Structure 1
Amino acid sequence: MPSDQELLRWSETLSAIARTGLGFTASLYEQERFQEVLSVAADMRATVEEGPSASEWLGEWMKSIGKGVPGYVTPKLAVGCVVGNDKGEILLVQRGDSGVWLYPTGWADVGYSPAEVVVKEVHEETGIHVEPVRIIAVIDGVRNQFTRVPLYSIVFHCRAIGGDLTPHPLECRDVGWFSRDALPQPLVGYDRWGPTAFDAIDGKPVDVTFDPPRTPVWRGGE
C-alpha cells in the first residue's frame, strides 16, 4: 500500500506532466486527455491531505498553465544558508508562519544568482551580513518531508561578516546564535542537516549532501 508521501509525489508528478502537456499541445484530443490526467491528480491530492477540494486543486492548476517553454512545469527552487560565527555558533530563525526553528531559507528570486539570494535572504531575515563559502547540500524538499510543495533546496555554508541580529517583522518571530549544546526547539530536521552544518562551521571538510537516486529511479525504495 503506497504511503501518503508516495501518493503526494505521484499526484504532483501527474499534475506536472499534464500541465506541461497542456502548455505545449495544440491538439484538442490531447488537451482533453491531459485535462483528464490533471483531474485524476487533483483527486489524489485531495485524498492525501486536508484542505482544498479536488475541484479547487484542478482550478488552481489550470490557472497556472503557460504556453510553450514558460509552461514547462519544474520544481521550485529555494536557497538555504548555514551561517557560523567566530564562536562556532549557528544562526537560526524562528519562522513566522509555523514557529519552528531552521537555518535561514527562502525562494530563489529572478535576477539573482543562488549565492546572491543567500546574501540577500540572510540579511533580510536576520540583519546579518554573510559571505558565501561553499555549497554543502542540494536536497529534494518533498522527499525529505520538509515541504509538500515540489522544490529543490541549495544549501550554502556562509561566514558572518557583520550586521546586528534583527528579525524580519513578518517572516521571523525571532533569530539568534546557538551552540550545538543549546539549540532551540522545535528545530526542523536537525538529525539530517545538523552534524554537517556544524562540521562546516568548524572548518572540517564536508561532502556535498544530495539525495541518492532510487533504484530504479522512479519506483525504487529509499
Structure 2
Amino acid sequence: MSQWLDWAKRLQALAQAGLTFTKDEFDRERYVELQRIATEMFERQSDLALEEVTKLTHVDGYPTPKLDVRGVVFRDDAILLVKERSDGLWTLPGGFCEVGLSPAQNIIKEIEEEAGYDVVPVRLLALFDMHHHDHPPLSQHYYKLFIECELIGGEAQVSHETSEVAFFTRDNLPPLSTARNTQEQLYMCFEARWQEDWITLFD
C-alpha cells in the first residue's frame, strides 16, 4: 500500500475517534482539522472531487473496518460470477453487510439480487483483511468474508448492479474486478470446493 494512503487512513481514523468521544470543544476543533487534512490527502491522490471524497471519509462513530460478504456458489466444477455494471469486470456476488442482517442473511440477499439464484449458506471459507491482499488502494479499511453456499433454486437474472451472470471453471476465469476479489482468492475457493475438512482461513 502507498505510504501516503496509510497515513491518510490513520489520520482519518484518529480524527473520527476523537470527534466521537471528545467533550472538549478545543479538541474538537483539532480533530476537525485532522479530518480536513486527511480528506485533502485522499482528494489529491484520487480522481474524485473533494465533495465526493468527504462523503466517503467523514463517517460518524468510532472507526472500525467495514464488512463485505462474497458468495461462493458452485455448479459442478464451475463457480458463479457476476459482471459489474460499474467497471465491466467479474466478481463473486456480494457487497457490504446491511445493519439488521447476519452475514448469512446478507449473502442470501446479495446472491438473489445480483444473480437471481436461491442459496443456503453452508460454511465460512475465509475472513480476509483487504490490506493483506492484492487489491487496489482503498480509502476505507475492509474485511471480506467468503461464504460457500449451496445452490437450491432460482435462475440467472441480472440486476441494476450486474449485466451478466455465468459460471466459470478454474482455468477459464474472466477479467476480474480486483477491488472486489482477486484471482488468488478465487483459486482458494476452488481449492476448498472438495475439502470437507476445510479449515477457515483468516488474516
The TM-score bracket by the shorter chain reads 0.7 to 0.9
CA contact (8 A) 2:170 2:187 kept: no
**Which residue of structure 2 lines up, in the alignment, with residue 152 of structure 1?**
143
Deviation at 1:131, TM superposition (A): 1.4
- Residues 87, 177 of structure 2: 8 Å contact kept: no
Is the Cα–Cα contact under 8 Å of residues 199 and 205 in structure 1 kept in the other structure?
no
* Cα-Cα RMSD: 2.3
The alpha carbon displacement at 1:16 in A equals 1.8
Give the match's secondary structure for 2:13: helix
Paired with 1:100 and 1:175, the residues of 2 have a C-alpha distance of 11
Shift of 1:204: 5.0
Secondary structure of the residue aligned to 2:170 is: coil
Following TM superposition, by how much is the alpha carbon of 1:100 offset from its aligned partner in structure 2, in angstroms?
Answer: 0.9
* Mapped partners of 2:22, 2:155: distance in 1: 52
Q: How does 1:48-197 map to 2 (within 5 A)?
A: 48-53=45-50, 57=53, 61=57, 64-65=59-60, 71-85=61-75, 87-144=76-133, 145=135, 148=138, 149-168=140-159, 170-186=160-176, 188=178, 189-197=181-189
Checking the alignment, whether the CA contact within 8 Å between 1:94 and 1:173 is kept in structure 2 is yes
TM-score by structure 1 length? 0.79
- For the residue of structure 2 that corresponds to 1:50, the secondary structure is coil
Cα deviation, 1:141-195, whole Å, max 9, x if unaligned, reads 3443256132211111111111111111x11010111122222224635432122
Please say if residues 76 and 150 of structure 1, whose CA atoms lie closer than 8 Å, have aligned partners that are also in contact. Answer: yes
Unaligned ranges ≥5, structure 2: none
TM-score by length of 2: 0.86
Q: Which amino acid aligns with 2:200?
A: V
2:39 aligned residue? 42
Which structure 1 residue ranges, 5 or more long, are not aligned? 66-70, 212-222
State the distance in 1 between where 2:154 and 2:116 align.
6
Which protein, 1 or 2, shows the higher relative CO under an 8 Å CA cutoff with sep ≥ 6? 2
| Closer, same or farther: CA 97–76 of 1 in aligned 2, 3 Å | same
Label 1:46 to 1:31 Cα distance change in 2 as closer, same or farther (>3 A): same
Contact in 2 for aligned 1:130/1:160 (Cα 8 Å): yes
Indicate the residue corresponding to 1:32 in structure 2.
29
Give distance in 1, aligned partners of 2:32 and 2:132: 26
